[in-house]
Every structure is written in C-alpha cells, then in structure tokens.
C-alpha cells in the first residue's frame, strides 16, 4: 500500500514526538536529571542582565540594595532589599549618595536603618518560582507593585544554585531540604537578626515558591513537624513564631509535586505524566521515584491544625493564619483547579474543627462564583471567590484562621505576580493584622510577636 506522503510525514513526526517523550520520561527517573528539570536553576538570563545593578530592571537608583545572606550550612544567597517608594522619596538624597553595589552585611546600609527606625514598617518576604534569578521575567513587576504599598519593604533571595547564589554543598544541586533551609534562613534573618515582628510580615510565594513558603512557615510554627525534611539546617538562633505572620499569600500553588505532574505541561504545551493516565502501573512506578515531593497541602493542613492555645502540651498548628490562595483561570502551567482542591480540603478542615468546639455557630463560609460568560455574583471581579474563617477569626482579637481563594480571570502563570490582585491580597493581610493588633492592644494581649 502506498502512503500519501503527507500522511507518512505526519506519522513520523508523531512517532518521533512519542519517542522523545518516552526518553524524557526514562531520564526523569534519574534524580539528578529530575532535579534539573524541576528546579531549572541553570536556565537564566544572567549573561545579559546584571542583577547587581537593579536600575536595569526599572528601579530608582539605590532603591534596591543587593546583599548576601549566609545560611547555616555554608551557602551564600544573593538577595535584594527593595525600598517602598514613599520611604525612598522621603530619604532620596541620602539613599542616592550612599548607594553601593552588593554588600556583605545589610545592617550597614541606609535601607536597613530606615526599616529599623520606622515603627510602622512592614515587610513582604518573597519566594520566587523555579528557573531564573531574582529579577527574571515578570518578577521585578511584583517588587514594583509591592513597593507602592506605604512603608512596605520587600526582601527576596535566589535559592542555592539559582542566579548568583552558591551551591557548595553535596549533591551540588538544589533539593527540597536545601530550598527550605534557604527559606527558613531568610525568614529567620528578618525576624531574629533584623528584629522585625512576624505580625508585620507577609510571606508571598509564586509557583514553586508557594511550596517553599508553606514549608518555611510550618517550620516557624512547629520546627519538629514530621512533614519537614529531617536534613534541613536551620540557623543556630532560630526563633519560633507561634502567633503566625500577618498573612501568607500563595500565587499559583499546587497540592504536591506528584499531583502537579499529573496535569503539568511545560510551557503550557508539553505534558509530563498526563499521557500515562491510561497506564496506572507505569504512572505509579514513575510517581514513586519522584525524589522531592513538596507536600504543600499536608503542610498547610498542619499549619491550620488546632494550636493547642491554653493547652500545656501545645498543638502543632499556628495560633493565627491568614492564608490567601490566588490563581489565574488562564494559568497554562498549573491548573487553577489545583488551588480549588487545596481550598476545598482546608475549608472542610476548618469547618470540622470548629463544629467540634462549642462555638461553631461563629465559623462562616462565603462562596461566590460566576460562569465564564458573566453573572454578577462575584464582588471582586474574580472568576470565583471563596472564604472560610473559624470562630476565633471572627472575634478579630488576633488568632483565628481564615483561608481565601480568589481565581482571577487574567495573568496566566507568571504575569499575574505583578497584577493588582496580588498587591491587594498583601494589603488586605496587613490591614486585617493591623486591626487585630489594635484590638489586641486594647485587651493587653501579648504573644502576637516573636519578641
Ligand atoms: C554589575 O553592576 C554592578 C553595580 O552597578 C557593577 O559594579 C558591576 O561591574 C556590573 N557587572 C558587570 C559584569 O557589568
């Protein structure tokens, strides 16, 4: 039988594609290759861009102070301290005159002095996604949008092996425990070394950064948690923050890496494990060989568990958690339904834990949703918006737990980080935390901060 040449050609193209995918899958079974594919830390634009010169990325002279942060296991992370514009304007002359390049110690800088002196200063700690450096792609747009929030400083680092950060420790490749060590080191640096209170700190993560954020937040609530890798290296002076942070904002999160890989598409096109859906045995075999599993949903569940306040044994959970999940409906890399799955689990956890206490009538759920074609039920202009809060949270006296889910219409996987919705989520967290602090002062409550 003679084949139509076009048909023959397309057959070869499809066959070649299938073989390439199969080869990629076999390579993925190797932990070294798997981690390279997951973290993609070697892919960045450091050859064209100079992250030590933040003006290249649209910041005012001296607005961003690059500095290095040492981890307890001997890595040097390359970090940025971004000043808010209102504070910058107020101290412009001094900042411009004293601006330097990369410094070894942030405490010697003008920016640190301003942060410290200002009693109303707030900090956003940012954790970026995989691949690239601190200023890759849309990342600077996040920092610029946060820097327009009054008195709000942003600190962010490249994880080990990313950008200009070192990777001296064996196996010389980013790992789950390595990245969590970096996350804990940065948070602890701000809380313990810089002495900034956790109640005026928001943790913000995107994509892979949501997994780092969650694991790090769990460490500060329950350092002994069995959900954390055993080989993380926390700083010697690590503090605890049972009272929790002003807020945790997760943009494009996923429940765990194995769950993500079931639907993930590279660049929104190339599937990884989804073609295996018809072959559960092979899928299970591959799944069992994923080395860094990033169980974010389990860690969030632990974070939202009862805190054991007033109980001498103490529960594993945090006293107060204000969690926002944000996801774009047109995210091609990570499906927004994964955020809905996370939310659904956390909502039923909060509802069941408050229904077992006597105050369940105070816990509340709000759900707003509209169809793709319209409908005006959703006040925030989102595609879907849901919120659950427990009884403690509605008392508004510091403590209590709330989880919000906002599915926004636009922004995709990466661009959304600079969108207004992210900045608004951060502002809401600070506003609610401030209201609680006021209320707390009135009642002489203590123990909100680490200090
Ligand atoms: C990068 O920028 C810094 C600060 O402006 C400068 O000192 C350094 O020489 C630059 N590096 C390169 C390779 O241009």
Dihedral (Cα; 296, 300, 302, 306), 10-degree rounding: 180
**HEC string of 355-372?**
HCCCCHHHCEEEEEECEC
Distance 18 CA to ligand 1 centre (A): 45
What residues are in contact with ligand 1 under a 6 Å CB criterion?
A: 50, 52-53, 101
* pLDDT of 314 higher than 60: no
Q: How far does the centroid of ligand 1 lie from the alpha carbon of residue 68, in Å?
A: 15
Measure CA 277 to chain center: 29
Q: For strands 270-271 and 265-266, give the pairing.
A: antiparallel
Predicted confidence at residue 65, as pLDDT, reads: 97
What are the φ and ψ backbone dihedral angles of 69, each rounded to 5 degrees?
Answer: -125, 125
What pLDDT was estimated at residue 237? Answer: 85
pLDDT band with cut points at 50, 70 and 90 for residue 451? very low
- CB distance 326 to 336 below 8 Å: no
Contact 204, 126 (CB under 8 A): yes
What structural domains does the chain harbor?
40-256+294-446 (3.40.50.1820)
Average pLDDT over the chain, rounded to whole? 87
* Protein residue with least CA distance to atom 5, ligand 1: 53
Q: Which of 45, 50, 57, 163 to mutate to test the pocket of ligand 1 (most atoms within 8 A of CB)?
A: 50
pLDDT tens, residue by residue, 409-445: 899 999 999 999 999 999 999 999 988 888 766 554 3
Question: Which residues in 143-179 are b (16+ Cβ under 10 Å) and which e?
Answer: bbbbbebebbbbbbbbbbbbbbbbbebeeebbbbbbb
**Which residues are paired to 155 by β-bridges?**
81, 125
Q: What is the pLDDT of residues 4-42, one digit of tens each?
A: 777 777 888 888 878 888 888 888 889 998 998 889 888
Asked, as a colleague might, if the bond just before 332 is cis with ω within 30 of 0, I would say no
Ligand 1: atom nearest CA of 101 is 4
Q: How confident is the model at residue 317 (pLDDT cuts 50, 70, 90)?
A: confident
Give the tens place of pLDDT for each residue, 43-52.
Answer: 877 667 899 9
Rounded to whole angstroms, how far apart are CA atoms 50 and 53? 6
| Mutation test residue for ligand 1: of 53, 55, 102, 134, the one with most atoms within 8 Å of CB | 53
In order, the DSSP letters of 240-297 are --TT--SEEEEES--S-HHHHHHH-EETTTEESSGGGGG-HHHHHHHHHT-S----HH
Q: What percent of the chain has pLDDT over 90?
A: 59
Q: What is the mean pLDDT of residues 191-204?
A: 95
Helix-strand-coil split of the chain, %, nearest 5? 40, 15, 40
Task: Output the six-digit token pair for 351.
Answer: 């509802």
């Amino acid at each position: 039988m003679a084949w139509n040449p076009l048909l023959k050609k397309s057959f070869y193209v499809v066959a070649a594609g299938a073989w390439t995918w199969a080869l990629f899958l076999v390579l993925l079974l190797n932990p070294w290759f798997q981690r390279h594919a997951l973290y993609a830390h070697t892919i960045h634009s450091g050859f064209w861009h100079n992250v030590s010169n933040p003006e290249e990325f649209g910041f005012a002279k001296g607005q961003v102070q690059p500095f290095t942060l040492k981890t307890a296991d001997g890595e040097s992370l390359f970090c940025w301290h971004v000043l808010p514009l209102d504070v910058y304007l107020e101290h412009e002359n001094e900042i411009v005159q004293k601006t330097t390049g990369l410094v070894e110690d942030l405490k010697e800088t003008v920016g640190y002095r301003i942060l410290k002196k200002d009693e109303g200063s707030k900090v956003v700690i940012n954790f970026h996604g995989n691949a690239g450096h601190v200023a890759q792609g849309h990342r600077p747009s996040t920092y610029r949008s946060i820097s327009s929030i009054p008195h709000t400083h942003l600190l962010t680092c490249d994880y080990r092996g990313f950008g200009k950060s070192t990777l001296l420790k064996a196996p010389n490749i980013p790992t789950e425990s390595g990245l969590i060590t970096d996350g804990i080191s940065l948070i602890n640096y701000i809380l313990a070394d810089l002495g900034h209170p956790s109640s005026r700190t928001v943790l913000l993560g995107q994509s892979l950064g949501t997994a780092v954020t969650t694991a790090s937040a769990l460490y500060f609530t329950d350092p002994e948690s069995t959900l954390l890798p055993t080989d993380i290296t926390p700083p010697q002076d690590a503090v605890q923050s049972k009272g929790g942070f002003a807020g945790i904002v997760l943009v494009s999160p996923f429940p765990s890496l194995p769950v993500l890989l079931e639907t993930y598409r590279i660049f929104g096109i190339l599937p990884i494990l989804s073609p295996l859906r018809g072959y559960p045995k092979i899928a299970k075999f591959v799944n069992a060989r994923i080395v860094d599993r990033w169980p974010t949903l389990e860690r969030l569940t632990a974070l939202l568990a009862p805190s054991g306040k007033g109980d001498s044994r103490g529960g594993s959970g945090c006293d107060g958690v204000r969690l926002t999940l944000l996801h774009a409906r047109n995210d091609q890399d990570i499906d927004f339904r994964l955020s809905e799955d996370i939310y659904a689990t956390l909502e039923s956890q909060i509802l069941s834990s408050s229904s077992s206490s006597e105050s369940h009538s105070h816990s509340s759920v709000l759900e707003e949703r509209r169809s793709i074609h319209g409908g005006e039920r959703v006040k925030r202009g989102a595609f879907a918006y849901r919120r659950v809060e427990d009884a403690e949270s509605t008392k508004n006296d510091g403590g209590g737990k709330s989880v919000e889910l906002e599915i926004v219409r636009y922004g995709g996987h990466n661009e959304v980080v600079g969108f207004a919705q992210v900045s608004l989520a951060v502002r809401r967290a600070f506003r609610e935390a401030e209201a609680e602090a006021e209320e707390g002062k009135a009642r002489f409550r203590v123990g909100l901060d680490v200090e």
